[in-house]
Structure 1
Amino acid sequence: MKRLRAILIKEFLQMRRDRLTLAMMLLVPVAQLMLFGYAINTDVKHLPTIVFDQSLQQDSRDLLNSLTASGYFDIHYTARNFQEINEAVDSGKAKVGVIIPPDFSSQLKHGRTATVQMIVDASDSLSASSAISAAQLVSQLKSQQILLQKMKGYTGHAEQSPYEIRIRPWYNRDFVSAFYMVPGITGVILTMTMVMITSMAIVRERERGTLEQLIVTPMKSWELMLGKIIPYSIVGYVQVTVAILVGIAAFDLPIRGSLVLLYALTSFFIIASLALGILISTVTKTQMQAMQLSFFIFLPSILLSGFMFPRDAMPAVFNLLGNVLPITFYLEIMRGIILKGVGISVLWHNVLALIVFIVLVLTISIMKLQKKTA
Structure 2
Amino acid sequence: MERRGPWPAVRGPKEPGRGGGGIRATFRTLGNILVKELLQLRRDPKILPILFIAPVMQLIILGYAATTDVRRVELAVCDLDRTAESRMLVDSFTRSTYFKVTRVVDSQPGLDPLLESGAARVALTIPAGFAAERAAGRPSHVQLLADGSDAMTGTLGLAYATGVLQDASAGAGVRPLVDLQPVVLYNPDLVSRDYMVPATLSMIIMVMTMMLTAMALVRETELGTMEQLLV
TM-score normalized by structure 2?
Answer: 0.54
Q: 1:100 aligns with which of 118, 126, 134?
A: 126
Instruction: Indicate if the aligned counterparts of 1:43 and 1:130 stay in contact, CA closer than 8 A.
Output: no
Cα drift, residue 96 of structure 1: 0.3
Structure 2 unaligned regions, length at least 5: 1-28, 178-214, 216-231
Query: Are 1:45 and 2:45 counterparts?
Result: no
One-letter amino acid of the structure 2 residue matched with residue 33 of structure 1:
L
One-letter amino acid of the structure 2 residue matched with residue 14 of structure 1:
D
Query: Are 1:59 and 2:89 counterparts?
Result: no
What is the count of residue pairs matched by the alignment?
Answer: 147
Query: Are 1:12 and 2:48 counterparts?
Result: no
Residues 122-171 of structure 1 show CA distances to partners (whole Å, capped at 9, x for unaligned) of: 222222221222222222222222226xxxxxxxxx799xxxxxxxxxxx
Alpha-carbon distance between aligned partners in 1 of 2:37 and 2:92, rounded to the nearest angstrom: 67
Cα separation, partners in 2 of 1:133 and 1:159, compared to 1, 3 Å: closer
Over alpha carbons, which structure has the higher Rg?
Answer: 2
- 2:156 paired residue number: 130
Q: Identity, % of aligned pairs?
A: 28
Cα drift, residue 34 of structure 1: 1.6
One-letter amino acid of the structure 2 residue matched with residue 25 of structure 1:
L
Q: How does 1:56-95 map to 2 (within 5 A)?
A: 56-95=82-121
- 2:11 paired residue number: none
- 1:26 paired residue number: 52
Cα drift, residue 79 of structure 1: 1.8
Structure 1 unaligned regions, length at least 5: 149-157, 161-287, 289-374
Alpha-carbon distance between aligned partners in 2 of 1:6 and 1:46, rounded to the nearest angstrom: 54
Cα drift, residue 9 of structure 1: 4.2
Alpha-carbon distance between aligned partners in 2 of 1:78 and 1:41, rounded to the nearest angstrom: 29
Instruction: Indicate if the aligned counterparts of 1:49 and 1:77 stay in contact, CA closer than 8 A.
Output: yes
SS of 2:170 mapped into structure 1: helix
Q: Which of the pair is proportionally richer in helix?
A: 1
Instruction: Indicate if the aligned counterparts of 2:41 and 2:48 stay in contact, CA closer than 8 A.
Output: no
Please provide the CA RMSD for this pair.
3.0
Q: How does 1:1-374 map to 2 (within 5 A)?
A: 9=39, 11-15=41-45, 18=46, 22-147=48-173
One-letter amino acid of the structure 1 residue matched with residue 43 of structure 2:
L
SS of 1:51 mapped into structure 2: strand
SS of 1:118 mapped into structure 2: strand
Residues 4-63 of structure 1 show CA distances to partners (whole Å, capped at 9, x for unaligned) of: 778854542222xx3xx5334322211232234422433322111111112222111111
SS of 2:142 mapped into structure 1: strand
Cα separation, partners in 2 of 1:8 and 1:44, compared to 1, 3 Å: closer
